[in-house]
Amino acid sequence: MFNITMNEFTQYLPDEVTMRRFAKHLAQIVMAQASPRAVVIYLHGDLGAGKTTFTRGMIQGLGFAGNVKSPTYTLVEEYQIADKAIYHFDLYRLASPEELEYMGIRDYFDKGAICILEWPEKGGELLPSADLELFLDYVDDARSLRAVAQTELGHQIISEL
């Protein structure tokens, strides 16, 4: 079951297999976008809502065969797929947004990269605006995903879902 409006899309995800399949589909749409700048995706949700599982589905869905681990302690993991850099950020353990300055956060949002950020609210004003915000919520034993476009690129992505 899904619902789409001009700038929002919702999808019921009854299990992990469906979540990973949908994440792969989204990743293929994002990968096909010819953007002169980074595509920025924010992931929101409570602990255990599936943010890392969703990201793992995106990255492996694009053909990455290795282990996709949570960057909870490293803050960022990089993956190279088809000459495109994909950065997976997990800001949960970030003590203050200034830590992002020390790690050179602005350098990650390079042209053509895909940047997926868990817990973006912890990054404060140092993060660029999202093109697409994804909200994962519990629905009994399943999840609901709501995608909200924040830019024209985000609208293009949602229109292809």
pLDDT at 66: 83
Whole-prediction pTM: 0.91
pLDDT at 6: 66
Give the separation between CA 63 and CA 53, rounded to whole angstroms. 16
When computed from its CA atoms, the radius of gyration of the chain, rounded to whole angstroms, is 15
Cα–Cα–Cα angle for 21, 47, 109, nearest 5°? Answer: 65
The pLDDT of 79-89, averaged and rounded, is: 90
Give the separation between CA 125 and CA 118, rounded to whole angstroms. 15
Residue ranges of E strands in 14-67: 39-44
CATH architecture assigned to 6-158 = 3-Layer(aba) Sandwich (3.40)
pLDDT in tens, 9-39: 999 999 999 999 999 999 999 988 867 789 9
Give the separation between CA 39 and CA 78, rounded to whole angstroms. 15
pLDDT in tens, 51-62: 999 999 999 988
Give the separation between CA 75 and CA 90, rounded to whole angstroms. 5
Count Cβ atoms below 10 Å from residue 17 Cβ, excluding itself: 10
Residue 2 has pLDDT above 70, yes or no: no
CB proximity list for 105: less than 8 A, separation 6 or greater: 123, 126, 127
What is the chain's mean pLDDT, rounded?
89
Give the separation between CA 161 and CA 24, rounded to whole angstroms. 11
145 contacts 51 by C-beta, under 8 angstroms: no
